[in-house]
Amino acid sequence: MNAYVQRVIEETKKKHANEPEFVQTVEEVFSSISPVVDAHPEYEKADLLGRMVEPERIFTFRVVWVDDQGQTRTNIGYRCQFNGAIGPYKGGIRFQPNVNLSIMKFLGFEQTFKNSLTGLPMGGAKGGSDFDPAGKSDAEIMRFCQSFISALYRYIGPDIDVPAGDMGVGGREIGYMYGQYRRLKGVFENGVFTGKGLTYGGSLIRPEATGYGAMYYLLEVLNHQGESIEGKTIAISGFGNVAWGICKKAMELGAKVVTLSGPDGYIYDEDGVSSSEEKVNFMLEMRASGRNRVQDYADKFGCKFVPNAKPWGEKVDIIMPAAMQNDVNLDSAKVIAANGVKYYIEVANMPTTNEALAYLMEQKDIVVAPSKAVNAGGVGVSGLEMSQNSERLVWTAEEVDAQLKKMMQNIHKASADAAEEYGLGYNLVAGANIAGFKKVAQAMMEQGIF
Ligand code: 2IT
């Protein structure tokens, strides 16, 4: 590995030993871009990598709200404006009890390269809170979102920083946050958020975009391998918005999604979750119920439920982890390889531990695709929503969908080409890191030292 790259990784490990997820993603991305740094010795003098691992700005704030019993509650809010070299900061907001500095930084760092890959002018950011939305009433969610934005509104804007949803934040939460932003600023500046409702500037296909984009990317991979998607079985984890989009598109394409998972375990539906609209729509009901249980699916449709387990032991053609970080560890990776799975397509942000990822990539007969490319359709359509907002017009679902598909084809091609250029073969993981990195690196070099 390039000595400068190695040194920045080692320093990051030392300096941020208490931020394991952040260190993990820095190591994953930077170990791929070593050949680019070899070709650009000027990066070391400009300490480009040392600057890249330090967020341009990151802050926390107090979020206070009153629950339905009249009790005052205090949470911590975060916004990490990681890198603005190629556009306004852009990235989701996550509400989940395990949100901390390390998770915000790993997501913001990933987002920087992902957004670069979309080809659109968006910098990288992430935000969130350790607030747990599970079991909260609608009124509590509204008061929390209002308080969150009262603290954050001065620091975001259509040309500054454009938040969106992530885990625990969907259309409802974005609505409350935008309403509070509009109320405090006294402007109709709807380009400040993406993932909005359709009545106030949301984009058609944004709810579907991450899942659809993942399937479009999968189609490119299969096409490269000379295979068809029809009849392929897919195991996914999660049962949220992204999993829903995957199932909807799988139904259209004739693929069979056989598993979903939640904190309580996983379901195995032999006929496929993607076999009927009723089943796919039920996923929305499960999510909206706030119960956070996937067993409800098995109870309703009479299929297998395995408590307290992940679906990675099931024999399928394709695996698509779509739940959360570090969902697949080395033991799971070994089972996946032993089962003869041919496609390992990451969807959630950093769903694979670095050792599991390395193991899977060593397997000659498994194609591995990285999440920062596969899930980029979500933020990609957010970029299209920003374009529509700034032009004050609305594109049809067909127009957005066609652009999303083209974007995913471009991302796959740019990744494959970048890997090829550095003699790495069909290495989509390294290719995505290299392609995403190059644009940010060049923009930073051209903008001077800061
Ligand atoms: O991880 C992600 O890319 C997102 N949560 C979507 C971010 C966005 O700005 O649409």
Confidence of residue 115 (pLDDT cuts 50, 70, 90): very high
For ligand 1, the distance from its centroid to the CA atom of residue 423, given in whole angstroms, is 31
Take atom 3 of ligand 1 and give the residue whose Cα is closest.
Answer: 379
- Residue that has been written with the tokens 């399928």 in this structure: 316
- CB distance 194 to ligand 1 below 6 Å: yes
- CB distance 115 to ligand 1 below 6 Å: no
| Cα–Cα separations (whole angstroms), residue 209 to 202, 381, 382, 383 | 13, 6, 9, 11
Q: Which atom of ligand 1 is found nearest the CA of 379?
A: 10
Pocket test for ligand 1, best of 94, 375, 388 (most atoms within 8 A of CB): 375
pLDDT value at position 350?
97
Q: Which atom of ligand 1 is found nearest the CA of 206?
A: 10
- CB distance 382 to ligand 1 below 6 Å: yes
- CB distance 349 to ligand 1 below 6 Å: yes
The closest of 385, 427, 383, 425 to 89, measured between CA atoms, is: 383
For ligand 1, the distance from its centroid to the CA atom of residue 378, given in whole angstroms, is 6
Q: 116: Cβ–Cβ under 8 A, 6 or more apart, which residues?
A: 86, 124, 435, 436, 437, 439, 440
Q: What is the pTM of this model?
A: 0.98
**Token pair for residue 391?**
């032009």
Confidence of residue 134 (pLDDT cuts 50, 70, 90): very high
For ligand 1, the distance from its centroid to the CA atom of residue 175, given in whole angstroms, is 16
> Is residue 136 flagged as an active site residue?
no
- CB distance 164 to ligand 1 below 6 Å: yes
Confidence of residue 5 (pLDDT cuts 50, 70, 90): very high
- CB distance 166 to ligand 1 below 6 Å: yes
Point out the catalytic residue in the list 105, 114, 126, 256: 126
What would the pLDDT profile of 300-335 be if each residue is shown by its tens digit?
999 999 999 999 999 999 999 999 999 999 999 999
Exposed (0-12), middle (13-18) or buried (19+): which is 76, by Cβ within 10 Å?
middle
For ligand 1, the distance from its centroid to the CA atom of residue 96, given in whole angstroms, is 15
Long-range contacts of 403-410 (CB under 8 A, 24+ apart): 404/205, 404/209, 404/212, 404/213, 404/216, 404/377, 404/380, 405/216, 407/118, 407/119, 407/213, 407/376, 407/377, 407/380, 408/213, 408/216, 408/217, 408/220, 408/376, 408/377, 408/380, 409/216, 409/220, 410/119
Confidence of residue 412 (pLDDT cuts 50, 70, 90): very high
Do you know the residue count of the chain? Answer: 450
- CB distance 175 to ligand 1 below 6 Å: no
For ligand 1, the distance from its centroid to the CA atom of residue 208, given in whole angstroms, is 13
Q: Which atom of ligand 1 is found nearest the CA of 376?
A: 3
Strands, sheet with 161-165, edge to edge from the N-terminal-most edge strand: 57-66, 72-83, 123-129, 89-95, 161-165
β-pairing, 72-83 with 304-307?
unpaired
Q: Which atom of ligand 1 is found nearest the CA of 90?
A: 9
What would the pLDDT profile of 19-73 be if each residue is shown by its tens digit?
999 999 999 999 999 999 999 999 999 999 999 999 999 999 999 999 999 999 9
- CB distance 428 to ligand 1 below 6 Å: no
pLDDT value at position 280?
98
- CB distance 91 to ligand 1 below 6 Å: yes
* 403 φ/ψ sector (left φ>0, alpha ψ -120 to 50, else beta): alpha
What would the pLDDT profile of 260-284 be if each residue is shown by its tens digit?
999 999 999 999 999 999 999 999 9
- CB distance 90 to ligand 1 below 6 Å: yes
For ligand 1, the distance from its centroid to the CA atom of residue 119, given in whole angstroms, is 15
Q: Which domains does the chain have, with CATH numbers?
A: 55-189 (3.40.50.10860), 209-374 (3.40.50.720)
For ligand 1, the distance from its centroid to the CA atom of residue 377, given in whole angstroms, is 9
CA distance 257 to 316: 9
